[in-house]
Structure 1
Amino acid sequence: MAKAKYVLAVDQGTTGTHVSILDDKLRVVGDAYREFTQHFPKPSWVEHDLEEIWASVETCIRAALKDAGLTGKDLSAVGITNQRETTGLWLREGGKPLAPAIVWQDRRTSERCAQLREKGEEPRVRETTGLVLDPYFSGTKLAWMLEHVKGARKRAEKGDACFGTVDTWLVYKMTGGQSHVTDVTNASRTLLMDVRKLAWDDSMRELLGVPAACLPEIRGSVDAYGTTKGMRSLPDGIPLTGMAGDQQAALFGQACFSPGEAKCTYGTGAFLLMNTGDVPVKSRSGLLTTVAWKIGDKTTYALEGSSFIAGAAVQWLRDGLKVIKKSGDVEPLAASVKESGDVVFVPALAGLGAPHWRPEARGLFGGIDRSTTAAHLARAALEGVAMQIHDLAETMRRDSGREIPSFKVDGGASANNLMMQFQADMLGTEVVRPQNLQTTSLGAAFLAGLGAGVWTSTDAIRKAWKVGKVFKPKMKAEARERHLTKWRRAVERA
């Protein structure tokens, strides 16, 4: 009997790190998760400690191996998926971070983006990168670091400092500083890569004042990025062979391999992606054109809409407002009232993403009166997350010219049945939740397994993907329209 092969997937997210170990039948045999600290030094600023992120990865790898009853020597490959636009800068020699990482939610470069828009630069940026001028993306964050961190620009120009998103940081650390690379999916989120040529663009670098010497090498999503070296949790020599940003990995993990197939991941934020095939589709309505993955010589593109706040709204109810004690309490609390009534919540706690792109927008509770309870706030919060996704889905239908016959969902917040039913009601289409909600990790593992020869084609993931629950629309048309009207009015005021 052939010995089982195992792939380790690191899913480094915004609020925590998740490590899974899958066997060659795509069964999860080991699992671990750790939260880490969120830093908010000023209003609209969000930072992470790169060293703390790395420590969480090492801890989770050890815990996942213990959970699986395996050692590092049993692994065939490692795959990485990550929070995408979070921006780091560290010394090439020794790897010491020059500053805290600026998280994708951070809005400190809003003014810089506005200045570039006023100069008429956005059409050129959009044509080259597929993105819009928004502080969400890495480019202006890096430009801010080069301007404000002492000595950073000089070091970057000399090549002594390395820029990277979290994938680049993890590969650097896992390989003992030997590899400074990124993959096309993460590079496509920087405002610095030509989305068609899949290469750093000199005109975008010059626009933002970014030296070429600090940029990582761009690779495919299945590639030989290096091998482990000097880690506490893994032996030397294990190949790193798969990598993609978290949302692209989830699209892959949801088996959305054909043009028109779409998924929405409900994590800290919520992200809707549709496979558009081998041609980048330009949005007319503020959606993003992004690389879904590149395997060999074949590049697959996607349209994407981003909602910055999803599960983070529940965390805010828990940690900020103290409405609930733990995240799991939100659904029963929300279900204790039949409806949210006049209460509406716009989750613009980090501005509004597509299709609105209003970084200055702020969160809003409306329709509150003396009868409003914590349950109404909880229900309105869940509904507000779903309403943002409704707007994205409608925009994507128009821009792509395709209907979404069923809506695949994943991520931790998709376990909330009340919110998923409301989502189906608002979309007017079935919402399909798989048995395995951790499709981001599944996508990373499968990319790595393809790179290491554990699997030879995408057929295996199609066979492994199984429906968990289907939510069918139930709401009457007049009730749906009332919710939509209430939502649109609130968004105008946010």
Structure 2
Amino acid sequence: MTNKFIIALDQGTTSSRAVVVNIKGEIIAIEQQEIEQIFPESGWVEHCPIAILETQLSTLKKVIKKAEIHPKEIVGIGITNQRETTVVWNKNTGKPIYNAIVWQDKRTANSCENLKKKGLENHIKQTTGLVIDSYFSATKINWILENVENAREEAEKGKLLFGTIDTWLLWNLTDKKIHATDYSNASRTMLFDIKNLCWDEKILTALTIPKSMLPKVNPSSFHFGNYKIDGFKIPITGIAGDQQAALFGQTCFKKGEAKNTYGTGCFMLMNTGNDIQFSKSGLLTTIAWGIDNKIFYALEGSVFIAGAAIQWLRDGLKIISSAEESEIFASEVEGENPVIVVPAFAGLGAPYWDMYARGAIFGLTRDTGKNHLIKATLQSLAYQTKDLLIAMQNDAETKLTSLKVDGGASNNDLLMQFQSDILDCIVERPKITETTVLGAAYLAGIYVGLWSKEDILSFRKIDKEFSPTFSSEKREKLYKKWLKAVERSKDWID
């Protein structure tokens, strides 16, 4: 067969996408559909699992047609997904018993406080590599079991299944046969022992979660099952959570290499090789991927609101009509911007981990206009990234000289230049910034023998490098203002 293709499915927080990647590692077709954001109460964020599945299947079928390829030419499917988002469904009917509770959701903050009161903080950090936070799946599962009628009883009878979005998609793509996940997604549940590679009994007991609900955990590059289309079986051979997939897609294969993804949230990961490195600076320790019978780990800094802040400008304040306009309006602000925006709409992630912080705007004066607010919102992404970089450098005891970037906002030259200036390091943007879907495709392609890591390294091309221009005095002055604003936004809710 001369024509061989990989399809990567990218089920994200705001949309479902499917891409076709050819043998040269090039994306030849993309299909995308937005998914509805559901906000039942303040701080609650949900998605409809059926809508997630339908939009993902729709984009999969459309992208095959768009690329004008035959199913027999597709040698593998890779899946990457919004992590931590939690679905519980009945394994007999296949129907979710509640909406998917999204990673941004804050309803389980009290449950997290109860875990801390039980003295589980150290055990959870040493076992899962995570901090106790409503961000992760564990307390979301517990909430569904406690609040959905008959859920607890059904779960204890072995009738309910839990999955992050990859598991929900895999179960449906394999005609309800395979209930599994990969190491990278399992490591984000706050239930998984990342050293012994098993579900942790102590945490399950503390949250009264039956082990029968949990999926089997496999390597990230693995034959998970088959998707049947038009009479053809296509193997699903790669799964990774979106940020780990982006790390792989950025070819950060070596220990010490790091990337930052500007998506709905903002996520910086550093490959720490086969070593588990626990953070002293508020970062997470996570599994990067499992491949070739080896586990690779990473340090991760998570910012909850990044691209979502740009969406807020568009959909909430309605002061821009598209994300692209943010660069145009922000560039009209001359000189130093006096406004600081702290977009803590869902609390503060690393390195602060304050579930009770809320968004705030500082530095308003009579002549403040929408352009100042737009620019400050953009700059908040760069400031939050600096928080992560400082923590990561402290943990790794090294100074990064360059940062690989991807995600939607990485295409904003104004932001990327400010990012380089405030970090004091080179920011490196690849020609193809769709590194999350590429990571999923690469994991799938490696398993079926389509590519080697060396092949993938040869695919990567640089679009643009941004070098710092700020003086150290200016950089320090601006960052101090940011830190002051962050302190004033913390612990807003009693």
Interval of TM-score (by shorter of Structure 1 and Structure 2): over 0.9
Q: Confirm or deny: 8 A CA contact 2:337 2:375 kept in the other structure.
A: no
Q: How do residues 296-307 of structure 1 correspond to structure 2 at under 5 angstroms? A: 296-307=292-303
In the other structure, the counterpart of 1:205 is 204
SS in structure 2 opposite 1:436? coil
Q: How do residues 23-102 of structure 1 correspond to structure 2 at under 5 angstroms? A: 23-102=22-101
SS in structure 2 opposite 1:228? strand
Query: Partners in 1 of 2:244 and 2:334 — Cα distance?
Result: 36
Stretches of structure 2 that go unaligned for 5 or more consecutive residues are 490-494
441-450 or 220-229: bigger deviation = 220-229
Q: How do residues 209-228 of structure 1 correspond to structure 2 at under 5 angstroms? A: 209-228=208-227
Match of 2:446 among 442, 450, 455: 450
Q: Confirm or deny: 8 A CA contact 2:382 2:415 kept in the other structure.
A: yes
Distance 1:474 1:72, change over 3 A: same
Q: Confirm or deny: 8 A CA contact 1:38 1:46 kept in the other structure.
A: yes
SS in structure 1 opposite 2:96? coil
Letter in 2 for 1:195: I
In the other structure, the counterpart of 2:474 is 479
SS in structure 1 opposite 2:255? coil
Q: Confirm or deny: 8 A CA contact 2:85 2:100 kept in the other structure.
A: yes
TM-score norm. by structure 1 comes to: 0.97
TM-fit CA distance, 1:477: 2.1
Letter in 2 for 1:181: A
TM-fit CA distance, 1:223: 1.1
SS in structure 2 opposite 1:84? coil
In the other structure, the counterpart of 2:344 is 348
In the other structure, the counterpart of 2:492 is none
Over residues 236-266 of structure 1, what are the superposed CA-to-partner deviations in whole Å (9 max), with x where a residue is unaligned? 4111010000000000000000000000000
334-343 or 274-283: bigger deviation = 334-343
Q: Confirm or deny: 8 A CA contact 2:330 2:375 kept in the other structure.
A: yes
In the other structure, the counterpart of 2:242 is 246
Q: Confirm or deny: 8 A CA contact 1:181 1:217 kept in the other structure.
A: yes
2:155 maps to 1:160 = no
In the other structure, the counterpart of 1:334 is 330
Match of 1:463 among 425, 434, 458: 458
SS in structure 1 opposite 2:29? strand
Over residues 214-255 of structure 1, what are the superposed CA-to-partner deviations in whole Å (9 max), with x where a residue is unaligned? 1000111011111114x6xx6541110100000000000000
375-384 or 473-482: bigger deviation = 473-482
Query: Partners in 2 of 1:279 and 1:477 — Cα distance?
Result: 34
Q: Confirm or deny: 8 A CA contact 2:224 2:235 kept in the other structure.
A: yes
TM-fit CA distance, 1:115: 2.1
TM-fit CA distance, 1:138: 0.3
In the other structure, the counterpart of 2:252 is 256
Q: How do residues 260-339 of structure 1 correspond to structure 2 at under 5 angstroms? A: 260-339=256-335
Match of 1:360 among 353, 356, 359: 356
Q: What percent of counterpart residues are identical?
A: 48
Query: Partners in 2 of 1:276 and 1:26 — Cα distance?
Result: 26
Query: Partners in 2 of 1:393 and 1:89 — Cα distance?
Result: 35
Over residues 371-411 of structure 1, what are the superposed CA-to-partner deviations in whole Å (9 max), with x where a residue is unaligned? 10000000000111110000000100000112212100001
Over residues 70-115 of structure 1, what are the superposed CA-to-partner deviations in whole Å (9 max), with x where a residue is unaligned? 1323211100000010000011123101000000000001111122
In the other structure, the counterpart of 2:406 is 410
Distance 1:425 1:174, change over 3 A: same
TM-score norm. by structure 2 comes to: 0.97
Stretches of structure 1 that go unaligned for 5 or more consecutive residues are none
SS in structure 2 opposite 1:238? strand
Q: Confirm or deny: 8 A CA contact 1:94 1:177 kept in the other structure.
A: no
SS in structure 1 opposite 2:324? helix
Letter in 1 for 2:456: I
In the other structure, the counterpart of 1:421 is 417
Stretches of 4+ moved more than 6 A in 1? none
In the other structure, the counterpart of 1:170 is 169
Query: Partners in 1 of 2:9 and 2:93 — Cα distance?
Result: 23
Q: Confirm or deny: 8 A CA contact 1:132 1:288 kept in the other structure.
A: yes
Query: Partners in 2 of 1:197 and 1:59 — Cα distance?
Result: 38
Q: How do residues 83-162 of structure 1 correspond to structure 2 at under 5 angstroms? A: 83-162=82-161
SS in structure 2 opposite 1:408? strand
Q: Confirm or deny: 8 A CA contact 2:72 2:232 kept in the other structure.
A: no
TM-fit CA distance, 1:62: 2.0
| Aligned CA-pair RMSD | 1.1
Match of 1:490 among 475, 485, 489: 485
TM-fit CA distance, 1:58: 1.3
How many residues are paired up? Answer: 489
Over residues 418-440 of structure 1, what are the superposed CA-to-partner deviations in whole Å (9 max), with x where a residue is unaligned? 11111101110000000000000
460-469 or 397-406: bigger deviation = 397-406
2:383 maps to 1:387 = yes
Q: Confirm or deny: 8 A CA contact 1:410 1:437 kept in the other structure.
A: yes
Over residues 41-67 of structure 1, what are the superposed CA-to-partner deviations in whole Å (9 max), with x where a residue is unaligned? 100000000000111111111221122
Q: Confirm or deny: 8 A CA contact 1:340 1:380 kept in the other structure.
A: no
Distance 1:228 1:429, change over 3 A: same
SS in structure 1 opposite 2:19? strand
Letter in 1 for 2:278: K
Letter in 1 for 2:463: G
